[in-house]
Amino acid sequence: MRRLRLATSVAELGPLRPLWETLQSAASATVFQSYIWNLAAARHFGDRERPFVVALETDAGAAIVPAAVVTRGAATIMGEMLFDYRDVLAAGDRGLISEALAEIGKAGYDLYLPAIRDGGRLDSAHGDLEAWVGASLLRGSDLGPDAFLAKHFKARKQMRRLRAAGADFARYHGDSSALVRWVYARKAEQFACASVDIFSDPLRQRCMVDIARASGSHCDVFTIEFGSATVAALLTFRDKGVRRFYTIWHDVRWDEFSPGIVLLLHACHESLGEGLDVDFLTGEQPHKTRFATGRVQLYRLRAAAARLASATAALPLAA
């Protein structure tokens, strides 16, 4: 049995969902390879990144390449600027990954993949790979919740100051859409006109509101509140024993209390207490590394269309 399918629209993604959700359960896949994240990206960014998803199934396994066309002659993995880790989904024969990638090359597209996580499905066998940045991690096997708190005296002191001033620590799920929308509106204000400004784009804001809503109880929004005022918020996603810290914001008028750092401390402690590791995602900024116990390397991959196409002979499309 050999079945090859191409999905070039949102509507064509639906029939791939059963296979997609089976493959995303693999250990190497992250939330960024999940069907709901990629469906949201296709819905919101189809004009910028037209879906070109390749799904290949054989008796030896299966592979999905969630690709998208960004310009004439160029493709990437879906996610626009919102997905920290890019990868394919696969099970069984690893050669199927090359066969699926070949369909992108045969269509005439060079492939560029930012932020491939060490240990993922793609490596130097599939293109030119270069080391990029790291992602900071806090592992429960390295530090328990009590030892973690004891290690961070200054942040713990600020937490006590906030509590003494009347702060409450709360948690909401991703279906609290009004809160998530409010957080991204604040992020847009925070980085307006900055050199790196992701969330001033209304499409990205709406996409993240939809992803959070679809994630439901797998999305946790931690906050610090004074009465009706929210002074810090952290959007996270639970993913196979890991809590991924995705977006943090704090009100600069409360800087003397370090609410952003205190909220990170609180969410890290809560995560460790729940048996979850913490992934601070792309970049090794000081506010991440101060709480981390390790890192994972991220890479970038480039492959010319001719190189991809030469991996395997043409395969007939399934009806």
Q: Are residues 88 and 230 in the same domain?
A: no
pLDDT for residue 319 is more than 80 = no
Residue-wise pLDDT tens digits, 223-280: 999 999 999 999 999 999 999 999 999 999 999 999 999 999 999 999 999 999 999 9
CA–CA distance, 195 with 216 (Å, rounded to integer): 32
At 195 the pLDDT is 66
At 92, list the tokens: 């069984």
Residue-wise pLDDT tens digits, 21-69: 999 998 889 999 999 999 999 999 999 999 999 999 999 999 999 999 9
CA–CA distance, 312 with 37 (Å, rounded to integer): 30
Q: Are residues 129 and 172 in the same domain?
A: no
Share of the chain above pLDDT 70, in %: 97
At 312 the pLDDT is 60
Mean pLDDT calculated for residue range 63-80: 96
Q: Are residues 146 and 280 in the same domain?
A: yes
At 196 the pLDDT is 72
Q: Does the residue 319 lie in any domain?
A: no
Q: Does the residue 314 lie in any domain?
A: no
Q: Does the residue 267 lie in any domain?
A: yes
Q: Are residues 113 and 145 in the same domain?
A: no
Mean pLDDT calculated for residue range 123-135: 94
At 314 the pLDDT is 42
Q: Are residues 91 and 153 in the same domain?
A: no
CA–CA distance, 43 with 39 (Å, rounded to integer): 6
Q: Are residues 287 and 302 in the same domain?
A: no
Q: Are residues 303 and 280 in the same domain?
A: no
Q: Does the residue 317 lie in any domain?
A: no
Q: How many domains does the chain have?
A: 2
Q: Are residues 114 and 152 in the same domain?
A: no
Q: With contact defined as beta carbons under 8 Å apart, do 100 and 52 qualify?
A: no
Q: Are residues 110 and 168 in the same domain?
A: no
Q: Are residues 156 and 270 in the same domain?
A: yes
At 317 the pLDDT is 47
pLDDT for residue 171 is more than 80 = yes
Residue 295, CB-side half-sphere exposure with 13 Å CA sphere? 14
CA–CA distance, 56 with 67 (Å, rounded to integer): 13
Q: What is the CATH number of the domain that holds 302?
A: 3.40.630.30
Q: Does the residue 187 lie in any domain?
A: yes
Q: Are residues 59 and 79 in the same domain?
A: yes
pLDDT for residue 18 is more than 50 = yes
At 316 the pLDDT is 45
At 318 the pLDDT is 47
Q: Does the residue 304 lie in any domain?
A: yes
At 210, list the tokens: 């939809």
Share of the chain above pLDDT 90, in %: 91
Residue-wise pLDDT tens digits, 150-169: 999 999 999 999 999 999 99
CA–CA distance, 83 with 158 (Å, rounded to integer): 32
Q: Does the residue 315 lie in any domain?
A: no
Q: Are residues 105 and 57 in the same domain?
A: yes
At 153 the pLDDT is 96
Residue 115 is part of which domain span?
A: 2-134+298-309
Q: With contact defined as beta carbons under 8 Å apart, do 4 and 103 qualify?
A: yes
Q: In degrees rounded to 5, what are phi and psi of residue 143?
A: -160, 125
Q: Does the residue 111 lie in any domain?
A: yes
